[in-house]
């Protein structure tokens, strides 16, 4: 366990940030799943809306350092490619 005040604070910050990052990742996964369900149901309007929302969430996660740049680009590319089919 940390003894210094700054180390204790850092531990608390890390725990808080970890929860936020998990939430962001989970939200991206949920939106992706909903998007694929809309594509399978041939519901293009919903799929387009979900794609736009998922892209923004992925970009936000990339900016916050939750996911890497190339991972974000790959996820967005795969979603857009799926909608184009």
Could you give the 3-state DSSP secondary structure of residue 79? Answer: helix
Could you give the 3-state DSSP secondary structure of residue 68? Answer: coil
Q: Is the pLDDT confidence value at 1 over 80?
A: no
Element (H, E) at 83: helix 69-84
pLDDT tens for residues 13-72? 999 999 999 999 999 999 999 999 999 999 899 999 999 999 999 999 999 999 999 999
Q: What is the pTM of this model?
A: 0.84
Could you give the 3-state DSSP secondary structure of residue 48? Answer: helix
The owner of tokens 């940030």 is 17
Structure tokens, 2: 């940390």
The owner of tokens 């949920």 is 30
Domain segments of the chain: what residues? 31-85
Return phi, psi of residue 38, to 5°. Answer: -65, -40
CA 45 to chain centre: 21
- Predicted confidence at residue 3, as pLDDT, reads 87
């Amino acid at each position: 366990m940390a003894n210094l005040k700054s180390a204790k604070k850092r531990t608390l910050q890390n725990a808080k940030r970890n929860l936020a990052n998990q939430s962001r990742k989970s939200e991206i996964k949920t939106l992706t799943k909903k998007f694929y369900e809309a594509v399978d149901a041939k519901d293009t309007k919903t799929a387009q809306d979900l794609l736009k929302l998922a892209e923004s969430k992925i970009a936000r996660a990339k900016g916050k350092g939750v996911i890497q740049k190339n991972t974000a680009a790959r996820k967005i590319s795969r979603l857009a490619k799926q909608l184009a089919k």
